[in-house]
Amino acid sequence: MSQSSLKAKMVLDKEYKIAPIDNRIYGSFIEHLGRAVYGGIYEPGHPTADSNGFRRDVLELVKELNVPIVRYPGGNFVSGYNWEDGVGPRESRPRRLELAWRTIETNEVGTNEFADWAKLANTEVMMAVNLGTRGIDAARNLIEYCNIDGGTYWSDLRKAHGYKEPHRFKTWCLGNEMDGPWQIGHKTADEYGRLAVETAKTMRQVDPSIELVACGSSHVGMPTFPQWEATVLEHTYEAVDYISLHQYYGNPQNDAANFLARTMDMDRFIRTVIATCDFVKAKKRSKKTINLSFDEWNVWYHSHEADSKRDPWSIAPPQLEDVYTFEDALLVGSMLITFLKHADRVKMACLAQLVNVIAPIMTDNGGSAWRQTIFFPYMHASQFGRGYALNAVVASPVYDSKDYTDVPYLDATGVYNEESEELTIFAVNRHLSEPLALECDVRSFAGYEIVEHIVLEHDDLKAVNRAGEANVVPHTNGRSAISDGVLEASLARTSWNVIRLAKRKGD
């Protein structure tokens, strides 16, 4: 193994656990926006479409990601959505002006169809209710339609629509980004908090088993952050289980060093929301802990210019179709590492979105589906990041960038799966030109050996994948070795690394 002048150390001990990882941190999001639904998961007449119009090629890629939960139907879309438009016979469903994204919504796909798709994709549904143009009444009717066995108006209507068994959706979002002036039905924190708590109480009367997510700030730069969270939780603390976080990052200035440091901002965002939740907990003398649902996150900026030129009122136009670069994949990897570092409080997260719209999976209408660069770190984390998040002790050289100081070149953490006796190290080398020599103390994992060292790397930070052009793909030729409880690895410059260890059979 070649020597590098850049060296970092890490200690991982199986006894030093942060928390068990809720698998739902590997969730995603499907909104009625652009080609996420129409031309994404659903395209009747496509060569791979099943009898319900769902694209089988897309489903296979979703299954590769092992997505445990998908948020639906929005997003900004939900704040103007009448859920009744999307149930019953398709030929009777209305076409509506969709004001959030200025398109025409055909309502060919609605609640029942999405429930069908979710079963095919082996995922749960995180359902959102409209607290923009609607409120308590529509929410109570929707949960009755979805979750009650029968014998009532709305549950019997579901049966009449061909769904004898209830969907039993467990997790529900109380609106979307209600702090945002762009949101249909935008509210102040007090207005939203009052509506959210009364909606929550009413929904729980229909189904006491549900989990509820209150709207947090739309992003860390909102002028009302974090007072919004404090005020909303003053109203809703005992009625909800989670508060949401949303955040997207971009690199319009083409400053890679600064871009790859954005998780410093994300970490502060999470810590501030945790502190705010715990302040309200203390103030209320509550024994309950509010956890976090980071139910929108990704890189998003490539498509802004194209989207600004779109004509309104078309059906499923290409919107928010970011073509992701290799450097985007590195940041996505670091964002996933950040969730794992906060596994004690971040219990759900949704990569926004899943198909075509700022997504790991892209399609051509009538044509192929393919994996974007960000597909791979998301897939690796979902596949191998199950178990306990470990409290990794890291000593790394640091750098300063335009917006951040003391940024570690090494961004890394470990996941211990007791059941399978496996240890996985996720690591990003942020250095733009030098490999990083990693020395990791794993003495508590006696008898473990390296299974594989997966690397995502490329000479060009701007390299992308397109239909038929898989330029950025992982390989398993990573350089690492273990001896006497010390793992040594060479992490290529600007690379995403997954080092998998497992206990030797017989030990």
State the CB neighbour count (10 A cutoff) for residue 467: 12
Angstrom CA distances, 33 to 107, 171, 245, stand at 12, 21, 20
CB-based contacts of 205-209 (< 8 A; 24+ apart in sequence):
205/140, 206/140, 206/143, 206/144, 206/147, 206/148, 207/143, 207/147, 207/148, 209/170
What lies within 8 Å, CB to CB, of 162 at 6+ separation is 112
Q: Spell out the residues 6+ positions from residue 142 whose beta carbon is closer than 8 angstroms to its own.
A: 83, 111, 127, 129, 154
- Show Cβ contacts of residue 336 under 8 Å, excluding neighbours closer than 6 positions: 377, 378, 381, 385, 426
The residues pairing with 501 across neighbouring beta strands, listed in sequence order, are 423, 450
The tokens describing 35, both together, are 């080609």
Distance, in Å, from the CA atom of 418 to the CA atom of 420, rounded to the nearest integer, reads: 6
Q: Name the active-site residue from 105, 113, 296, 457.
A: 296
Our answer to whether residue 296 is catalytic in this structure is yes
**Cα 25 off chain centre by:** 7
- Separation between Cα atoms, residue 462 and residue 195, nearest integer Å: 45
Edge-first strand order for the sheet with 393-395 is 393-395, 7-11, 436-441, 486-491, 479-483
For the question of residue 177 being annotated catalytic, the response is yes
**Set 98, 124, 144, 177: catalytic member:** 177
Distance CA 366, CA 359 (A): 18
Contact (CB, 8 A) for 301 and 252: yes
Local structure of 194: helix, strand or coil: helix
User: Residue 99 carries which DSSP code?
Assistant: T
Distance CA(346)–CA(298), nearest Å, equals: 16
- For the record, the structure tokens of 354 come out as 């899943």
Q: Catalytic positions, please? A: 177, 296
